[in-house]
């Protein structure tokens, strides 16, 4: 009798492990749903839709055999507070990861860094509660705003990235600043070639984001209470 019960327990355990493995495998095979939440740098102001950052990033990942669906939730002129106001509908249910690119307009307008920090913290707190993996893209203040402003503003992004344990890319437009060949006539927005540079530089961090989101998704499918998407 004891032998039969033991065999039954072993059989049930094996079946459970197989089911959990199948669920995790299905989660790994499903294309991740990524939202690129940002301003005109994400929206692709002055560019064709296929040349905007989200579209080019998705193609770059596909070329490496990584299948994801990236939604362009960039709105030109948005500040961090604007992004917070539209967060719920810009990042719908089913989103696995967010590439967060906001802050350039805050700096260009010289907005209070304390207000920018509060709004960004509120966005990150809301995404953490939803267990959504985040790649935080940093921004730097223009030097003409002064050293004090620069110190206060520039510290926002690394501070919050550390606080929330995020994947972090320090400066979204790294590699294209002040390069006339890579920027449009306004000197603020990248050309299609400029977007290529941004994508090439940020790609390793995006792959890190995807790995983290897949781990979280697999754990959720397997019914694990442990989540690795956010602290």
> What is the tens place of the pLDDT at every residue in 6-34?
555 555 555 545 544 444 444 456 789 99
The sheet carrying 32-38 orders its strands as 68-74, 32-38, 97-101, 133-137, 167-169
pLDDT at 220 over 80: no
Least confident residue range of 23-27, 28-32, 46-50, 194-198: 23-27
Average pLDDT taken over every residue of the chain:
89
Nearest to 165 by CA among 79, 227, 101: 227
Angle 39-41-44 from CA coordinates, rounded to 5°: 100
pLDDT for 106: 98
- The string of pLDDT tens digits covering residues 142-191 is 999 999 999 999 999 999 999 999 999 999 999 999 999 999 999 999 99
């Amino acid at each position: 009798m004891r032998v039969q019960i033991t065999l039954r327990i072993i059989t049930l355990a094996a079946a459970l492990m197989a089911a959990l493995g199948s669920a995790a495998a299905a989660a790994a095979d499903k294309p991740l749903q990524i939202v690129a939440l940002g301003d005109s740098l994400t929206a692709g102001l002055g560019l064709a839709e296929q040349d905007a950052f989200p579209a080019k990033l998705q193609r770059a990942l596909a070329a490496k055999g990584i299948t994801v669906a990236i939604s362009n939730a960039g709105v030109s002129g948005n500040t961090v507070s604007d992004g917070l106001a539209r967060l719920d509908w810009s990042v719908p249910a089913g989103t696995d990861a967010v590439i967060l690119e906001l802050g350039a307009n805050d700096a260009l307008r010289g907005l209070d860094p304390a207000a920018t920090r509060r709004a960004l913290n509120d966005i990150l707190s809301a995404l953490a509660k939803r267990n959504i993996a985040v790649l935080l893209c940093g921004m730097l203040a223009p030097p003409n705003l002064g050293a004090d402003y620069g110190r206060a503003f520039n510290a926002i992004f690394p501070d919050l990235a550390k606080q929330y344990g995020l994947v972090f890319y320090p400066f979204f437009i790294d590699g294209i600043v002040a390069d006339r060949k890579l920027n449009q006539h306004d000197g603020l927005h990248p050309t299609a070639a400029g977007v290529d540079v941004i994508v090439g530089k940020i790609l390793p961090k995006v792959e890190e984001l995807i790995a983290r989101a897949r781990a979280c998704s697999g754990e959720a499918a397997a019914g694990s209470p442990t989540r690795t998407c956010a602290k």
